[in-house]
Structure 1
Amino acid sequence: MPLPFVKMHAHGDDFIIVDRRGQDDPITAPIARRLGNRHTGIGFNQLAVVLDCEDAAARVKFWNADGTPLAACGSATRGVAERLMHETGSHSIVLRTDRGLLTCVRESGRRVSVNMGEPSLDWASVPLAGAMDTRTLAIAGDPAACSMGNPHCTYFVHDMAAVDVAVAGPALETHPLFPARTNVHFVQVLDRGQIRLRIWERGGGVPLGSGSCCCAAVVNGIRRGLLDATVQVLCDGGTLTVQWDGQGGVVLTGSVEPIMQGSAYLY
């Protein structure tokens, strides 16, 4: 069975979109894992399945490359929005994800903004293994934590060059404090409106960027009193903008670009 897909990226954070509106959803954990393999599959950081929805333009489900589901993906959400806005000729669209209804807006060029919803800041919703202040976790390095629909842990460092993300990330992802594992960020604050960010992604390794990680890193920086409400986030693959007023939804803005389209085979 051929499975049509489109592959896109957002500053190097690559994802595929499978449009199943009007059709069944064939994606399972084993299929997502096989398609995500960069040697024997298509290869991606995330997979987005676009489905029919009664109260939005579409419902979007997300999978990691290791076959685990996730509730939020800022890059793929913007990619789906860009394609559907192009399809309808509109400049805004509402998508339903496990985070709820997300409003997306076309900006200049190929830039798309998405309101990713309010961050979850209490320990149980991250989730953490026990009650504590999520602004300063009781583990080495004093990181902060929050959820953007998936768990995030943010370390603030003085010198990004001194951090080996590929070594530090895996141990922190599976730390006992995080029963659902966690994304791990390393943030160097350049000034109140700009940070350097590197990421260990839960189930995905070291990506060039991640929309939800950018959001969570900025949220945690603002909660620590280190950042202003609008922040430029310098990832390995490019720069995104995150805005948060400390109470409402987190708005993520950045470019999305098509790479290829084709068909995969489901056995």
Structure 2
Amino acid sequence: MRDNAGMIWNFTKMHGAGNDFVVLDGVRQSIEMTPERARALADRHFGIGADQILVVEPATRDDADFRYRIYNADGGEVEHCGNGARCFVRFVHEQGLSDRNPLRAEIATGVILLNEGDDNQVTVDMGSTRFDPADLPFETVGLASRAEGDAILWALPIEGELQPVWLSTVAISNPHAVQIVDDVDHAPVERVGPRIESHPRFPRRVNAGFMQIVDRHHIRLRVYERGAGETLACGTGACAAVAAGIRRGVLDSPVAVHTRGGTLHIAWDGQALRMTGPAVSVFPGQIDIDALVFSLALTR
């Protein structure tokens, strides 16, 4: 709605395993998102603070209940967010927008199925999983490669590093590049993550995953996300890591993925990929979005 102060938006702050969001109801209020507005909302010092901004809108196709859009903290719109998807279904139910369960959500690459359980956990059918580098896209001409199990690994040279990084590439709507490390606590996430994310071999950038194998049903994971930096948890990143590990022959479904923000449970049979985890509402609020953008501009 609009008053004399500007455009007032109602929002809810939410998180899924520490991956935090500002969620906006675009069904009952008009939400005209721009990169500047998304960046202002996500700013942790001058705005509300979030890894991503989620917008719930009326569906544009007959086989979906709602449309679900995701904006990273840098203002760019992305294809999918697994932790956000769980918060999406919890938001829709808590706000009384629908009592359907499961829900079908329209995302940029298709429709996903979401089911809220009685145990405060939400299960998401994550859609198709693809491993062709062209699906990310990832330019492989001239790169060394090797087979490991059913997977093909690629040696990506990183500026400033003595050795290339051996990566599995996975597209789960979002693009992911996953490497295995000995210990995620000491992995070079801050140093190498940004260089993988923006590597010229990934024209649309990529999410960089660092996976430690605990045993065949447990991993530890850190992800440097495209447009957001390292987050406490990454849902599509957890799915990508598990799928990559199963194809490499080092994991068996189901897999518990331990992130810095909590544990996600991933099951994959080679076709259907499902993720289960928490979704928590933190607080509701209102924001004058135009005033926020203006005040943020004054700090630059």
Question: Which residue, 123, 128, 150 being the options, matches 2:133?
Answer: 123
Say whether the 8 Å CA contact 2:22–2:42 is kept in structure 1: no
Structure 1, unaligned runs of 5 or more = none
Say whether the 8 Å CA contact 2:209–2:241 is kept in structure 1: yes
| Amino acid paired to 2:17 | H
Counterpart residue number, 1:4:
10
Counterpart residue number, 2:297:
none
Say whether the 8 Å CA contact 2:22–2:41 is kept in structure 1: no
| Amino acid paired to 1:58 | F
**In percent, how many aligned pairs have the same letter?**
35
Counterpart residue number, 2:24:
18
| Amino acid paired to 1:64 | N
Say whether the 8 Å CA contact 1:188–1:197 is kept in structure 2: yes
Alignment of 1:162-173 (within 5 A): 162-173=186-197
Counterpart residue number, 1:76:
84
Counterpart residue number, 1:48:
54
> Are residue 232 (structure 1) and residue 242 (structure 2) matched?
no
Counterpart residue number, 1:258:
281
What displacement does 1:130 show?
3.4
What displacement does 1:192 show?
0.8
Say whether the 8 Å CA contact 2:265–2:275 is kept in structure 1: yes
| Amino acid paired to 1:138 | A
What displacement does 1:23 show?
4.6
What displacement does 1:106 show?
1.4
Choose 126-135 or 196-205, whichever is displaced more. 126-135
Question: Which residue, 154, 159, 167 being the options, matches 1:137?
Answer: 154
TM-score by length of 1: 0.94
| Amino acid paired to 1:116 | M
Distance 1:249 1:25, change over 3 A: farther
Counterpart residue number, 2:222:
198
Aligned-partner SS, 2:130: coil
Say whether the 8 Å CA contact 1:117–1:249 is kept in structure 2: yes
Aligned-partner SS, 2:75: coil
Counterpart residue number, 1:65:
73
| Amino acid paired to 2:166 | D
Aligned-partner SS, 1:118: coil
Give the whole-Å Cα distance in 2 for the aligned partners of 1:266 and 1:108: 35
What displacement does 1:197 show?
0.4
Give the whole-Å Cα distance in 1 for the aligned partners of 2:242 and 2:134: 20
Give the whole-Å Cα distance in 2 for the aligned partners of 1:145 and 1:41: 34
The structure having more radius of gyration, on CA atoms, is: 2
What displacement does 1:126 show?
1.0
What displacement does 1:163 show?
1.0
Choose 162-171 or 193-202, whichever is displaced more. 162-171
What displacement does 1:22 show?
4.9
Give the whole-Å Cα distance in 2 for the aligned partners of 1:72 and 1:66: 15
| Amino acid paired to 2:276 | T
Give the whole-Å Cα distance in 2 for the aligned partners of 1:222 and 1:266: 44
Alignment of 1:65-104 (within 5 A): 65-86=73-94, 87=96, 88-104=98-114
Say whether the 8 Å CA contact 1:99–1:117 is kept in structure 2: no
Choose 20-29 or 96-105, whichever is displaced more. 20-29
Q: Deviations over 1:17-51 (max 9, x none)?
A: 11111554310111111111111111101111111
Give the whole-Å Cα distance in 1 for the aligned partners of 2:10 and 2:172: 29
| Amino acid paired to 2:277 | G
